[in-house]
Structure 1
Amino acid sequence: MSFKTALLGMTILAMAAPALAQAIDTEETKLDTVIVSGSRLDQTATEVGSSVSIISAETIDKLGFDFALDAIASAPGVTINQSGSFGGNATVRIRGASSDQTLVLMDGVPINDPSGTGGGYNFAYLDTENIERIEVLKGPQSTLWGSDAIGGVVAITTKRPEDGLGGSAFGEYGSFNTFRGGASIGGANDTGDFRIAATGMTTDGISKADEANGNTEKDGYDSTTLSARGGLNLPSQMRLDGTLLYSDATSEYDSYSGGAQGSTADGDESTESDSLSGNLSLKVPLFDDRLENLFVVGYSDITRKNFTDGAQSYAAEGDRAVYRYQGTFTVNAANKLAFGAEREDTTANDSDSTIDGLFALYEYKPVEKLTLTGGVRVDDTDTFGSKTTGRVAAAYSATDQVLLRASWGQGFKAPSIFQSTYVCSFCGLTEPNANLKPETSEAYDLGVEWNSLDGRAQAGATVFHQETENMIDFSYTAGYDNIAFVTSEGIELTGGYQFTNWLGVSANYAYIDAEDGNGNALVRMPEHSGDVTVSLDPDGPLSGAVLVRYNGEEPNSSGGTLDSWTRVDLTGRYDLTDSVELFARIENLFDEHYQEVLGYGTPGLSGSVGLRLRY
């Protein structure tokens, strides 16, 4: 299937999308009030020229997502791969870019693993209970966020305190002897606010190596997450904020087995992971709030230990400190300028690196309905020299029903500490590859969104193209080297229709044609993927949703192909009182057998039931 054929077919489908259009939450229909924090200009969703998917806490709750990985997977153009459920290594890829090219921000602070091979982020342990919103910015965002944002950004915002004093507690029990529970308390007044929360999960799990291949040993998972957030309202409208997130997880997994499918089979292996992230920020408005000064100090740390038959077999630790200043000056209603400086100090396994960045962003609104954005950034690395990236974007509300978007941007990613210090002794080398260079990318996208006059129907289509040069991969001649060129192009479609006040359907689809420089399809990258959600919320205490997720066939690194799969999940909620809610979930309703990574299993028909108290 050629890209042009797919483009034509999908465009026709987009024009007909009202027939299967999207039921949008009340909050999400008000695009002119939703602030996209990842834009760094506090633009509303109608002013952002880049393609962005926003996943709210309400959507997470409605669809019953326990892990951020599953919520992010609902965004069109995003591919996830997990090496076995309940703690298996989990990656997020945006529009065909590698998982190491996805920058992950927690309340504005990068939390990618500095000690990882490529510096990516493992989404296996990130619980959703403390998440207020997830933004998925697609395409290169290095002008905004520097290195690692070469394929896109996942920006996560934790829950903020609400007015007054209150809290919640919940507990749920389900298949595989799984228990998950937690509690939170918070409050806000004129002086300031705070929120403290704790969440835990324990499960016997399933075999990481697919049970269908004769692997019967269950691999358990245990995790604890602690979250704190608070702020003080200071004189002269200044504001001091702080956030903290700690996670401790232990996951059992299976052993290497050369003769097994995916080279994995039952074994006594486990990994322990401790992660900490937080930031302290101070906002200082000047000149009648026209100039907002933001000072941020952020920190993240990850420690990993692997064990085989009870003995430690591997250990890694990495941390990152971020120092940031951003000034945002509102010249007038048509002109806004943001500028700033950042420093990032990273350490991993007794090695370190530093990146200093300067950036400037400009927003121009020649007319009320047109927003033009441009930016430039210079990043200076202590090892790989300087790199300049730029971007431009436009958002135009052609009518009250039609919104047009367009963006072009560049990205770069400095080699990770592991890649730049690794010595391949079995390759006959005695030192790291001295010729290693940063990866770079360039991309554009064009999109259109349509809403019906009555607000019941919605449709959208986005076409994108991205090229990445100097991709780093392993080479038996140089260790890690710039050996790959990747092209990715495709189309993303969204649509939905609200049949009644209580019944709606939403759908999204992505076609991604991703190839390396030799014309080979990228491994673990399906050409076709999509979701359909049916939401039911009649008058009364009962509400629910049906989620159908499709993942097309995808190539393996071994040369074979993983089969396509379709999974159906059901969620339901029942309000016993104004403060007590009963909820339940059925996953993989039709017991579909599928794999996200060759040789690794996924749960069959399973479910859970729980109770939530609000006070």
Structure 2
Amino acid sequence: MSYKTALLSAAALGISVPVFAQVSELEENRLGPVIVEGSRLDQTAAEVGSSVSIISEEDLEKLDYDFALDAVATAPGVTINQNGAFGGSASVRIRGASSGQTLVLVDGVPVGDPSTTDGSFNFAFLDTASVERIEVLKGPQSTLWGSDAIGGVVSITTKEPETGLVGSVFAEYGSFNTLRGGASVEGANDTGDFRLSASGISTDGISKADEDNGNTEDDAYESTTLSAKGGLNLPSKARLEATVLYNDAESEYDSYSGGAQGNVADGDQVTQNETLAGNLSLQLPLLDDRFDNLFLVGYSDIARENFTNGAQSYFAEGDRSIFRYQGTFEINDLNTVSFGAEREETSANGENADTDSLFALYELKPVDSLTFTAGVRNDDDSRFGSETTARVAAAWNPTDQVTIRSSWAQGFKAPSIFQSTYICTFCGLTEPNSNLKPETSEAFDIGVDWRSADGGLQAGITYFNQDTENLIDFSFTAGYDNIAEVKSQGVEVFAGYVLTDWLSVNGNYTFIDAEDGNGNELSRLPEQSGNVTVSFAPDGPFSGAVLIRYNGDEANTNGTTLDGWTRVDLTGRYALNESVELYGRVENLFDDDYQQILGYGTPGLSGSVGIRLRY
């Protein structure tokens, strides 16, 4: 039986019995004890030594994001690049690290594509309809999650079922003949829970190659996403749970054209992308709930197929299997240890790579206000041998209003299957580079968060410094080789203020100074970026928000400079009653003409309106 069949069968088992609903942490005030799942110790936001941004379900709804990419872009320290709107290849970078050094998890399962050059995840197709929260852990997290986490981790959690039997339906229409809709049904009781959802989008789109350069052909996009999640409560507080997320997307894109801006112009190109990710887990608490045991099997598969003028021009498929055990033992109120083992099996186009890992974490709380965390991990790669990483962190809350945090960590990324098997025939080579080594990093950060006694005002600042060595890049002498290094440092600032019961403002700003080993500025990385959100929810049926996004000047790969830009978006919601809601969005209010990547266009003034029914 194939992994895909087994995964879908497990999901069917998991959702066949409704379970009791657990209280959502996201219903708490954002300044309250939100649990950071990516810490692997279920620490609260006030206990985590690393800098972390949490994008809640409330945030996703308030700003009416269709794609997770747009939500992640609002986190300080995060940079996105997309080759044109509506399905253009999209990458996420954290604190200047490359997209291949950003580990992406969906319900704890890595979903990077093993068949791509650097094994990165394409954010272009990830719809928010089934997403409950997104955590962005910044800085090396390899001790927690293994390879690929040099820059940080984007951990995505799909929605949990609600109590009772409920459902929702939504539909919207917008610019560029865009149709989007979806439905969900969910239920929960003392026995089990389940949630099923489906969403889809179809649009005529815009030209991927900037229309200002004479490109008049619109590039269409359509996508369907299916999600299933369910669990069964077993005796002795044990729980069996299964999740599945499936996406099928087709996007038109434009062709390589030498001499055109960005070397891109109108062309008849289509890419089809199919993604499947899921897991089956068993949580088994022992010793009066002091010893929690998690057994998890996860699987992800991504298949990509390109067509030129209707004929197949490219095909690639990569899959990943995860086998994980984690035990967490609360020795007493002061000491907690966590340990585990993982095996990861990846394959891409007939090539395979396996990694066996052991890890241990220790949490010490000598007093309620102070949390120390330390960890060590060893990853044994079948191709490149063993790599050990370590991490220490601390969070101190000298008063109820202040949190001081700091962390030091190491990171590593094993060469991708593509990089380690590529033979550059036009370079005169007959075999892959046998001297290729993993990329490694070392970083530290320190920050302080402050909040007023009434919770109405908050602010924080974090300084980070990271060195990455043995970066892999293309070389005409060796194919792919360890030929680069990067030094990055910077500051992340955030602030929020509740002006009245119905009006609040939040903002963040990031400064990143990132250079390669020769002192050259990294391309496609703004030195300055920031966001401001003004939210209003007066008494009555209406609420809304204004989002201002700023992206500073960037260096292009050809040595020129891409101009910075500022974009203003508006969202509004009107509740007709408890069950029916109208909503709308205006993007790029002032019709700013800008590019995220040289030669690729972005939408001008545009928008959409929709209706949502909850029952």
Matches within 5 A, 1:473-512: 473-512=473-512
| Residues 169 and 199 of structure 1: CA distance in aligned 2, closer, same or farther (over 3 Å) | same
* Residue-by-residue CA offset, 1:225-265 (whole Å, 9 max, x unaligned): 00000000001111000000000000000000001000000
Q: Which secondary structure does the structure 2 equivalent of 1:500 belong to?
A: coil
Count, aligned residues: 591
Identity of aligned residues (%): 71
Cross-structure match for 1:525: 525
Deviations 1:381-439 (A, max 9, x none): 00101000000000011111111000000000000000000000000000000000000
How far apart are 1:31 and its partner, in Å?
4.3
Structure-2 change in CA distance of 1:27 and 1:456 (3 Å): farther
The alignment partner of 2:143 has SS state of helix
CA distance in 1, matches of 2:455, 2:152: 30
Asked whether the equivalents of residues 31 and 455 of structure 2 are also in contact (C-alpha less than 8 Å), the reply is no
1:128 is aligned to 128
Check whether the contact 1:31–1:46 (CA below 8 A) recurs between aligned residues.
no
Rounded Cα–Cα distance in structure 2 between residues aligned with 1:438 and 1:32? 39
CA contact (8 A) 2:26 2:56 kept: no
Q: Deviations over 1:482-523 (max 9, x none)?
A: 000100100000002111000111110000000000000000
Match of 1:614 in 2: 614
1:34-113 matches, cutoff 5 A: 34-113=34-113
Amino acid at match of 2:138: K
| Residue aligning to 1:156 | 156
- SS of 2:331 mapped into structure 1: strand
CA contact (8 A) 1:203 1:221 kept: yes
Say whether the 8 Å CA contact 2:26–2:57 is kept in structure 1.
no
Match of 1:211 in 2: 211
Alignment of 1:51-450 (within 5 A): 51-450=51-450
Return the letter of the residue paired with 2:179.
F
Once the 2 structures are TM-superposed, how far is the Cα of residue 33 of structure 1 from its aligned partner? 2.1
- Structure 2 residue ranges without an equivalent (≥5): 1-24
Aligned equivalents of 1:506 and 1:324: distance in 2? 38
SS of the residue aligned with 1:420?
A: helix
Equivalent AA in structure 2 for residue 465 of structure 1: N
Separation (CA, whole Å) in 2 of partners of 1:297 and 1:32: 32
**Aligned equivalents of 1:462, 1:56: Cα separation in 2:** 21
Change (3 A) 1:339 1:507: same
Residue matched to 2:584: 584
| CA root-mean-square deviation | 0.9
Contact 1:304/1:315 (<8 A) preserved: yes
Q: SS at 1:398's partner residue? A: strand
Deviations 1:30-73 (A, max 9, x none): 54521111000010111100000000011011001100000000
Change (3 A) 1:449 1:27: farther
Cα deviations by residue, 1:299-358 (Å, 9 ceiling, x for unpaired): 000000000000000000000000000000000111000000000000000000000000
- Output the CA distance in 2 between the equivalents of 1:325 and 1:447: 33
Correspondences of 1:432-471 after superposition (within 5 Å):
432-471=432-471
Asked if the contact 1:31/1:44 (under 8 Å) is kept, the reply is no
In structure 2, what is the Cα distance between the partners aligned to 1:341 and 1:469?
A: 27
- In 1, Cα distance between equivalents of 2:447 and 2:614: 41
User: Is the alpha carbon distance of 1:611 and 1:30 closer, same or farther for their aligned partners in structure 2, counting shifts above 3 Å?
Assistant: closer
Cα drift, residue 27 of structure 1:
5.0
Secondary structure of the residue that 1:58 maps to in structure 2? helix
Q: Which residue of 1 aligns with 2:534?
A: 534
Deviation at 1:149, TM superposition (A): 0.7
Runs of 4+ in structure 1 deviating by more than 3 angstroms, as ranges, are 25-32
Structure 1 counterpart of 2:165, which letter? Answer: L
Q: Please give the alpha-carbon distance, in whole angstroms, between the structure 2 residues aligned to 1:31 and 1:305.
A: 45
| TM norm structure 1 | 0.95
Give me the whole-angstrom Cα distance separating, in 2, the residues matched to 1:479 and 1:172.
Answer: 48
Taking the aligned partners of 2:418 and 2:512, their CA distance within structure 1 comes to 30
Tell me by how many angstroms 1:454 deviates.
2.0
Output the CA distance in 1 between the equivalents of 2:538 and 2:28: 19
Aligned mates of 1:209, 1:192 — CA distance in 2? 49
TM superposition shift of 1:153:
0.2
Report Cα offsets for 1:533-553 as digits up to 9, x if no partner. Answer: 110100000000000000000
Report the AA paired with residue 517 of structure 2. Answer: G
CA–CA separation in structure 1 for the residues paired with 2:177 and 2:365 = 56
CA contact (8 A) 2:583 2:610 kept: yes
* Residue identity matched to 1:359: F
Residues 563-583 of structure 1, C-alpha deviations (whole Å, 9 max, x = no match): 010000000000011100000
CA shift in 2, pair 1:28/1:565, >3 Å: farther
Q: TM-score, normalised by structure 2?
A: 0.95
- 1:337 and 1:214 map into 2 onto residues whose CA distance is 61
The secondary structure found in structure 1 opposite 2:489 is strand
How far the C-alpha of 1:452 sits from its partner, in A, is 1.0
Following the alignment from structure 2 to structure 1, what is the Cα–Cα distance between the partners of residues 369 and 513?
33
Equivalent residue number for residue 7 of structure 2: none
Matched residue SS, 1:285: strand
- Kindly indicate whether the alpha-carbon contact (under 8 Å) linking 2:193 and 2:232 is maintained by their aligned counterparts in 1: yes
CA contact (8 A) 2:49 2:406 kept: yes
Q: Confirm or deny: 8 A CA contact 2:484 2:517 kept in the other structure.
A: yes
Could you say what secondary structure the match of 2:399 adopts? Answer: coil
Question: SS of 1:60's equivalent?
Answer: helix
